[in-house]
Structure 1
Amino acid sequence: MNCISVCLSVCLSVCLSVCLSVCLSVCLSVCLSVCLSVCLSVCLSVCLSVCLSVCLHVPFVSLSLSMSLCHSLYLFVSLSIYLSLCMCSWVGYEHSSFSGQQFVLERGEYPRWESWSGSNAYHIERLMSFRPVCSANHKESKIVVFERENFIGKQWEMNDDYPSLQAMGWGNNEIGSMQVQSGAWVCYQFPGYRGYQYIMECDRHGGEYKHYREWGSHAQTFQVQSLRRIQQ
């Protein structure tokens, strides 16, 4: 049964990718910008319907397994399309409703989960929700970090990437609060851009992050030891 499921998943991925490419080419030639989102929605809906129809006619494949396979394929295809077409960066979340771990997705290809996890110590094999990072500006990004919450204590203004804050002179391994004055940043729990990721943007929370509880639903500590600007 496992072998059948794997083979079915591979075959569906290939067939639907070909169908989707044809549909997308037609859509792009007819309505490149005005109706692109509508075309993509129609293409994805058709692919999902075909996937379910095929799965339900294959012996030994249950309804729940069919739904799981098609849902995973739908998410993968939709993410691949939007990342390929959109010029901005995205944030992928571990759970639906933009909750759980965050992963910055800059323009490029992400064929496997290691591509977005990188050297992250907390691997997530599936992303369940996504949103664009519209304020990213790699050339003009500025962030001010503070020693304590509510913008109190020692402060440091930065406009460059820092693989190790301590090596650059920051006194400890924690940041109490941050003010993003321009652009968008991704902060990491450990040096070398490792560990949990926290996406900080100038157009969210008014650019003000007074406490780690505002960094994301997965944040449980003030620990931040490296940060960098998000690419456009």
Structure 2
Amino acid sequence: MGLSDSIRSCRCIKNVYGNAWRLRLYERPDFGGQMVECTEDCPSVQEAFKFREVFSCVVLQGAWVFYELPGYRGRQYFVERGDYRKYTDWKAVSSALGSFHRITEF
């Protein structure tokens, strides 16, 4: 995957108030399997939580960026407050989630 100097899409970030971030990740679709709750950035999902794939999530507070690879690399997916029953709900092409971080500056 190469780098590009073009912007393919843009949208406003909504549902972001205050300074709290909370996210629940699930290892199965429809909020099944093991669940972990996160409030901080995570450079490696596999190291932190011992699973490579995330099939569903609930964003309780804040907005986040998911990356398909560890170290904040690869395809990026924006998620904001809401329920995501399967990885395609956040427009991912696979269930691989390598890292994620909070959106803290606007």
TM-score (norm 1): 0.43
Q: Is 2:25 the partner of 1:145? A: yes
Provide the residue aligned with 1:179 in structure 2. 58
Within 5 Å, give how 1:5-20 maps onto structure 2.
none
- The secondary structure found in structure 1 opposite 2:45 is coil
| Alignment partners' CA distance in 2, 1:129 and 1:172 | 30
Percent pairwise identity: 33
How far the C-alpha of 1:131 sits from its partner, in A, is 1.0
Larger RCO (alpha carbons 8 Å, 6+ apart): 2
Provide the residue aligned with 1:209 in structure 2. 84
| Alignment partners' CA distance in 1, 2:8 and 2:97 | 25
Provide the residue aligned with 1:132 in structure 2. 12
Provide the residue aligned with 2:94 in structure 1. 221
Quick one: structure 1 residues 149 and 122, their matched pair in 2 at CA, closer, same or farther if it must change by over 3 Å? farther
- The secondary structure found in structure 1 opposite 2:11 is strand
Provide the residue aligned with 1:39 in structure 2. none
Residue 137 of structure 1 contacts residue 184 of structure 1 at CA under 8 Å; is this kept in 2? Answer: no
What letter corresponds to residue 224 of structure 1 in structure 2?
Answer: L
Q: How many residues align?
A: 105
Quick one: structure 1 residues 150 and 138, their matched pair in 2 at CA, closer, same or farther if it must change by over 3 Å? same
Work out which of the two has the higher radius of gyration on C-alpha atoms and give 1 or 2: 1
Bigger fraction of residues in strand: 2
Residue 144 of structure 1 contacts residue 180 of structure 1 at CA under 8 Å; is this kept in 2? Answer: yes
Q: Is 2:76 the partner of 1:197? A: yes
How far the C-alpha of 1:124 sits from its partner, in A, is 3.0
4+ runs deviating over 4 angstroms: none
| Alignment partners' CA distance in 2, 1:180 and 1:137 | 13
Gap runs ≥5 in structure 2: none
Q: Residue deviations 1:180-228, cap 9 Å, x none? A: 00100101101100001111100xxxx1111111112xx2100001111
Bigger fraction of residues in helix: 1
How far the C-alpha of 1:134 sits from its partner, in A, is 2.3
